[in-house]
A and B are shown apart, each in its own frame.
Chain A
Amino acid sequence: MLQLDHVEARYGSFKALEEVSMSVEQGELVVLLGANGAGKSTLFNTLSGLLKPSAGKIALNGRDVTGLKPSALVAAGVVQCPEGRKLFPEMSVLKNLMLGAYVHRRDKAGIRQTLEQVLSLFPILDEKKDEAAGSLSGGQQQMVAIGRAMMGRPTLLLLDEPSLGLAPLVVKQMFETIKGINEQGTTVLLAEQNAFAALKIAHRAYVIENGRLVMEGDKDTMLGNEEIRRAYIGA
């Protein structure tokens, strides 16, 4: 459903992405592995329209979406849950979630239904729905961020480092949840440093280094690859 063809992105004269060609199929959970500064977030921000690609083409379900505005991409079904969450800290949890459904704002019944789904995915958010999002714990804030992205009813969900800064037990639950979201039909592209946990729930993976994709393979190939084990799993 998502097709990148020789995508390049720059910050000024610095090329943060070079010759990135990749694809994500309907229903897949694809992991993007890479160290800090490898270009994962840059790639995600390019896919979300926050950054315009300086060359190359991005297609979504066969339609050229290169250089569209973030709002148009969200409306087209590409929703990102960003690194660092980027919540609205002084708004209530419920309001954060409702704003996630901003592009569907005329569809009141649909929003109510999605909200129920999100709250059943994260029951704790139902309890905390009137508290300011900024006052929650890191794990709960991450739930709000994922929930907010789900409220946009993504067909392609981009998750940027959802496990960052979470306690190990919470990380495990987070990956379970992501797997669940994918199994219910949402295509997921997941950027992670926590390679082992991410690969376990993935179908396929790409490795990004210095803004270039250097390796691609399915879950078992990647888990069995010596280089990957050494570089990202540490075993």
Chain B
Amino acid sequence: MDLFFQQVLNGLTLGSIYGLVALGLTLVYGILHVPNFAHGAIYMVGAYVSYLTMVDLGYNYWVAMACAAAAVAALSVLCERLVFNPLRDAPPIHDKIAAIGIMMFLEAAVQMQWGAEFRRMPTPYTDIFNIAGLTIPAQRVLIIMGAFSLMAVLHLFLKKTMTGATIVAMAQNREGAFLVGIDANRVAMMTFAISGALAAVGATLFAPINLVYPSMGHLLIMKAFVIIILGGMGSIPGAIVGGLIIGFTEAFGGFYISTDYKDIIAFALLVVILSVKPTGLFTKGVR
């Protein structure tokens, strides 16, 4: 039974990170209908900024996280301005090609600058709690609490503020949003900034129990796409629930079947769910 709860904890940890990354992806998709393949690379840059701020510049973990969020938000806005905005009226395939281009560019740039080697990010939270037979590393608690509080903040921002409402409005009816005077550029930049910041915070939370390297975003972005397809493209609750589903399936599948198949399980689950419910679990869009 202890092992079961240990897997619940693992599932929550993975699921909350996946949810955070998928949220950024689904927000951008909901507003601009751009599948941002570069999101995984953006996440990777977030991890590097945190790593460098902590290790090379010697600041503490939280400062590093804030720096990463700010830097990556700026980088995302830059991508929107320089790449996605000029392509707004182009055929949809151009966005996809451009996104893959950004991904390759960022990875190559990071690799050129800092090399391809794996790095381990230190964390100030190395305690391990033992509660009722469960081994709970402090960093995992931090991941779960951090991710869920960020989701709650995002939810409040979208629901309770006028600025947040403009993002939801744009997702629900683009022309309607224009007609009440919402500025498309402003919303697009804001959405990319939020999406980038979420990825950077996710990366900073997750990196200490993982590794930092230029292609660290690959598998994650694939899974994030699985999650938002599962949850319904553009749906916020879908991204969170989808993230948890994939997190739990991986944790339990890895434990009860084999860790070798851990990464395949997400994709197998996608096939199963899409054959039963082809439109995804939450199809009503951003709420």
Interface residues as binary, A34-73 with B (CB distance below 8 Å gives 1, 0 otherwise):
0000000000000011100000000000000000011100
Do most interface residues of chain B lie in helix, strand or loop, or is the interface mixed?
helix
Given contacts A70-B179, A74-B180, contact A89 B173 (CB under 8 A): yes
Is B87 positioned at the interface, with any CB of A under 8 Å from its CB? Answer: no
Cα A232 to Cα B172 with chains together (Å): 35
Number of B residues near A (Cβ < 8 Å) is 20
Task: For the complex formed, measure the closest distance between the CB of B46 and the CB atoms of chain A, giving whole angstroms.
Answer: 31
Interface residues as binary, B163-186 with A (CB distance below 8 Å gives 1, 0 otherwise):
001101100110111111111000
Is A196 positioned at the interface, with any CB of B under 8 Å from its CB? Answer: no
Is A91 positioned at the interface, with any CB of B under 8 Å from its CB? Answer: yes
Task: For the complex formed, measure the closest distance between the CB of B182 and the CB atoms of chain A, giving whole angstroms.
Answer: 6
Given contacts A75-B181, A102-B162, A102-B182, contact A86 B176 (CB under 8 A): yes
Is A98 positioned at the interface, with any CB of B under 8 Å from its CB? Answer: yes
Cα A102 to Cα B169 with chains together (Å): 11
Partner pick for A71 among B172, B181, B286, CB 8 A cutoff: B181
Cα A69 to Cα B187 with chains together (Å): 14
B182 lies within 8 A of A90 (CB): no
Is B284 positioned at the interface, with any CB of A under 8 Å from its CB? Answer: yes
B162 lies within 8 A of A86 (CB): no
Is B120 positioned at the interface, with any CB of A under 8 Å from its CB? Answer: no
Cα A88 to Cα B172 with chains together (Å): 5
Is B277 positioned at the interface, with any CB of A under 8 Å from its CB? Answer: no
B173 lies within 8 A of A86 (CB): yes
B173 lies within 8 A of A71 (CB): no
Is A228 positioned at the interface, with any CB of B under 8 Å from its CB? Answer: no
Cα A70 to Cα B284 with chains together (Å): 27
User: Which chain B residue has the least Cβ–Cβ distance from A45?
Assistant: B175
Cα A99 to Cα B165 with chains together (Å): 8
Is B287 positioned at the interface, with any CB of A under 8 Å from its CB? Answer: yes
